[in-house]
Amino acid sequence: MLTLTSASSALTLFPECITQWRRFAISAAAGDKFPSFLPKQMEEIKDPFARKLATRIERLPVTVSFSEKSIMSSCVKPLIQSNQNPVVLLHGFDSSCLEWRYTFPLLEEAGLETWAIDILGWGFSNLERIKSCDVASKREHFYQLWKSYIKRPMTLVGPSLGAAVAVDFAVNHPESVENLVLIDASVYAEGTGNLAKLPRAAAYAGVSILKSFPLRLYTIFLAFKGVSFDTGLDWVNIGKLHCLYPWWEDATVSFMISGGYNVSRQIDQVKQKTLIIWGEDDQIISNKLAVRLHCELPNSIIRQIPDCGHLPHVEKPDSAARLILEFMQNYSCQKKAQLAPTDEVVY
């Protein structure tokens, strides 16, 4: 099991990281123009990386069977096209593509064609006329977005509940997924459990608590090690932005009462090469489950990041980016070696 001992090891592999981070922060501070569909509270966010990535969020029309009109779906598109298949970043439960604000620029600077996608029901898509945000709807929406815009097998990256989304998608649409990266994966929860049995009125009451400031601040300090109070406040505000849309409660209740993701029985059906990344100090999902997942996934490798909590791509972006890039490079080399012609020796 590989362990990264320090951020300096990532910067050795990523010599451009320091320059990229400085350039990214300077350009963010120079004045940001946000898309008009983002909540006006985006202007109050202090984090320069969140502000910069937010300027690149756009909405693409996606046609699905459960909506009469196309869903204007939010994502961050790549600036470059690569000969290598793209890397597509999902986010965790009730979050958005801004979760990737630190790691996205590192992957892009390394030359990867990088997408950050908002899962249906969360993020900054327009869901004004959408009545269903269950697992099947999320899967269909993502597939239609992939089919319309990405169009190539991808390295699909899923953190936390996003890992369950990735596993479900890889099993149901294996032609779309070349390989997987699962980060502190929430894949053993039995959906939304008893919350699925709540009366609708009680479900709405629970959802209102979900977006409460005290609960989200507590979650920040549980998920991350050594975060200052001021940083924690800003991160809460970033994480709550999508909750300000009028359809957020309906979408979240729809997901809750549908039963949510229950993918534990799908794990052994995953055929793609998979990288499992885990923060050694995760206080939300035990790293014992990382070992279990490694044992149950037939074609996987596991890497742990020391002194790191539940979301390495936020807390240790240089380490997370290094591991993803290294995994993709090794996979590409192995694939080329398998396709290379061999000289036959005739006796």
Q: Which of 282, 313, 318, 319 is catalytic?
A: 282
**Contacts with 114 (C-beta within 8 Å, 6 or more apart), sequence order:** 76, 78, 86, 87, 88, 89, 104, 107, 108
The phi and psi torsions of 177 (rounded to 5 degrees) equal -120, 115
pLDDT reported for residue 334: 81
Tokens of 166: 């990735």
Tokens of 11: 């910067």
Q: Which of 310, 313, 318, 319 is catalytic?
A: 310
pLDDT reported for residue 200: 83
Tokens of 242: 């999508």
pLDDT reported for residue 199: 87
Low-confidence ranges of the chain (pLDDT < 50): 1-22, 25-29, 345-347
pLDDT reported for residue 13: 39
The C-alpha atoms of residue 347 and residue 325 are separated, in whole angstroms, by 43
The yes-or-no answer on residue 282 being catalytic is yes
The yes-or-no answer on residue 32 being catalytic is no
Q: Which of 73, 95, 160, 254 is catalytic?
A: 160
pLDDT reported for residue 31: 67
Note the pTM of the prediction, 2 decimals. Answer: 0.88
